[in-house]
């Protein structure tokens, strides 16, 4: 196992300049559950640290004030 794979740098690095809006609608699947009660997730909260929390509509509302204090970005709320 001495073979090292050399990445082909500079050959096709596209997508880097693709600056789409940050308002993309997150796709929640059946696997995405509220961290608090296990209901289907409706809102994703992204913390400045990079960690994500998932909430159902009920708990998103309940924790919204606290999340904003933490400068979290809420996605998916309507």
Interface residue list for Zn ion (CB under 5 A): 34, 36-37, 39, 56, 59
Smallest separation, CB 59 to Zn ion (Å): 3
Smallest separation, CB 68 to Zn ion (Å): 18
Give the pairing of strands 73-75 and 43-46: antiparallel
Q: Which is nearer to Zn ion, 21 or 78 (CB)?
A: 78
Q: Which is nearer to Zn ion, 32 or 46 (CB)?
A: 32
Residue 28 CB coordination number (10 Å)? 16
45 vs 30: CA distance, rounded Å: 17
């Amino acid at each position: 196992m001495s073979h090292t794979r050399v990445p082909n740098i500079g050959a096709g690095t596209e997508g880097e300049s693709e600056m789409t809006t940050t308002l993309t609608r997150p796709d929640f699947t059946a696997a995405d559950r509220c961290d608090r009660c296990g209901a289907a997730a409706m809102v994703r909260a992204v913390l400045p640290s990079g960690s994500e929390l998932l909430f159902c509509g009920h708990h998103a509302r309940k924790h919204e004030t606290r999340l904003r204090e933490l400068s979290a970005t809420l996605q998916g709320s309507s």
